[in-house]
Amino acid sequence: MRAEEYDWIIYHVICEEKNNTADEICEKSGFSQEQVSESLERLKKTRLVECRGDRYRVCSLEEFIFSSQINQDPFSDIFIENGVIKVKTAAKQPEDKNQDDSGNQG
């Protein structure tokens, strides 16, 4: 079976039973721990499912679109981690001591 077929079946197992653990998904799908683990990683990477603690759930359409937009914007300071919207903290750049307030070198 191809990877996409495993993903499709596992996605639907998660849809039917909300908040499954990986072990529960293995039991319900009949797939090995390795097959389920690999599939869950692909599904998380494509933002179709998310994991909170040890439980997996299907992302809503709004979550999918929002997280896709955030992650594709190279200038965004916002990211989503474990279902929480966070802001990247950038280290302050040292100011050039040879520049005055107008940006001119002096």
Rg (CA), the chain: 21
Burial of 40 (0-12, 13-18, 19+ CB in 10 A): buried
pLDDT reading at 104 higher than 70: no
- Predicted confidence band at 92 (pLDDT cuts at 50, 70, 90)? very low
Residue 40, amino acid:
L
Task: State residue 37's pLDDT score.
Answer: 95
pLDDT tens, 32-67? Answer: 999 999 999 999 988 899 898 899 999 888 887 777
66-75 per-position pLDDT tens digit? 777 777 777 8
CB distance 98 to 91 below 8 Å: no
Sign of CA dihedral 71, 52, 44, 9: negative
Q: What band does 102 get if pLDDT is binned at 50, 70 and 90? A: low
Which among 54, 56, 94, 88 is positioned nearest to 74, based on CA atoms? 88
